[in-house]
Amino acid sequence: MTLPRNDTPVTTAPEAAADSLDLARAVAGLPEQMEAALASSQATEGAVDGSRIANVVVMGMGGSGVAGDIVSALAAPLMPVPVAVAKGYECPAFVGPTTLAIAVSFSGNTEETLTAATAAHDAGASVLAVTSGGRLAELAGEWAAPLYEVDSAIPMPRAAVGAISVAPLVALERAGLLSGIADWVDSAAAQLRTRRNAADGDGAAADPLEGIVRAVGNGELTPVFYGGGALGAVAAGRAKAQINENAKIPAFASFMPELCHNELAGWDQAGRLADGSPLAVIALRHDFEHVQLQRRYDFTHGVLDGARIAVPHAELHAAGDGPMAQLFDLIYQVDVLSLRVAAAARRDPGPIPLLEELKAFLA
């Protein structure tokens, strides 16, 4: 079935589950978080000389690693040097004395990021750290590297998306590789407040995502997020991760136009019609999509409707002035969506015991 396009605000999570870390408050405070990060970053001592930088690599994992994706999507198209994103233990082989390596770890103790950042430093790269403390802050001191401090009061890395993303952008601007970040943040914060204020009204009554939220929370559907271009791909990846971590539910993400070359062929799925589709597609749309992506979305909607087992699908649309505003508008919407799914599933969106078990196992 086709669900209506969603031009209504995403609303706050229903009071159906505990939120022990008050992530709902952290999500609602995203515009203020971005503004505070801008002020803090602009006041940070030390800057890298961009005239000697030939390439940039952003290192990070999980809720911190999304900073690299955001920098790549927003800044890379405007910068005179290439930007790479590294998510893992390995430092790219090209890293050397003309590299700016930005290490992002909210806790400062992410082992993959520490390993890669140390390798970058040893290779002669200019390193700067974005963290709330931990070993990464200690290394920044030992290396005399600029340290962009993130507010440690933020409850979890995934709730610090504004802080960990604004800091690298400001660092790139201070290196002379980018400009206009304050205006970007101002526009994004204004749009987020508009979205937040709208959600406080009565726009939730006709929310076309309510059925999908309830079905995902009940385990009847698994969400698949589609994003177009670089901005949409970041938003889709963020949505997947937030459903995984906040609702503790599987989710998947793909991006246009690549999915039209492979994944699209898989929607004419086999199975018993009586069972219905096990999947639902949520498209994350923005105004900076290539003109051909609109036609690809239209075709994809027809495929989903005409599949042997019709696939439920809906859209979230970004608003705001500029790419950063629209990207963070989508991030805000999917963050709130994940909290709604967690509430429907009656799961606390805060702690993730399984990941703590993994850390203990690796230790």
Question: What torsion, rounded to 10 degrees, do the Cα atoms 87, 92, 98, 103 define?
Answer: 20
Q: What is the pLDDT of residue 203?
A: 47
Residue-level pLDDT at 270: 58
- Alpha carbons within 13 A on the beta-carbon side of 52: 10
Cβ neighbors of 321 (< 8 A, separation 6 or more) are 187, 190, 191
Q: How many angstroms separate the CA atoms of 297 and 295, rounded?
A: 5
Look at residue 201 in the predicted model and tell me its pLDDT: 65
- Which backbone phi and psi does 104 adopt, to 5 degrees? -120, 115
Domains located in the chain, CATH noted? 2-12+206-344 (3.40.50.10490), 48-174 (3.40.50.10490)
User: Which stretches in the chain have pLDDT values below 70?
Assistant: 1-17, 201-206, 270-274
Q: What is the pLDDT of residue 206?
A: 61
Provide CB contacts within 8 A for 138, sequence distance 6+.
108
pLDDT of residue 318: 98
- Non-local (6+) Cβ contacts of 104 within 8 A are 58, 59, 60, 64, 65, 67, 68, 113, 129, 130, 131, 164, 167, 168
The confidence score (pLDDT) of residue 200 equals 75
Predicted pLDDT of residue 70: 98
DSSP state of 287: T
Tokens of 41: 């970053």
- Joined together, the tokens standing for residue 357 give 């078990």
**Parallel, antiparallel, or unpaired for β 83-86 and 55-59?**
parallel
d(CA 309, CA 88): 38
Query: Rounded to 5 degrees, what are φ and ψ at 75?
Result: -95, -40
Paired strand residues for 25:
none
- Note the residue count of the chain: 363
> Across the chain, what does the average pLDDT equal?
92
Q: What is the pTM of this model?
A: 0.93
Neighbours of 219 (CB within 10 A): 12
Q: What pLDDT was estimated at residue 363?
A: 83
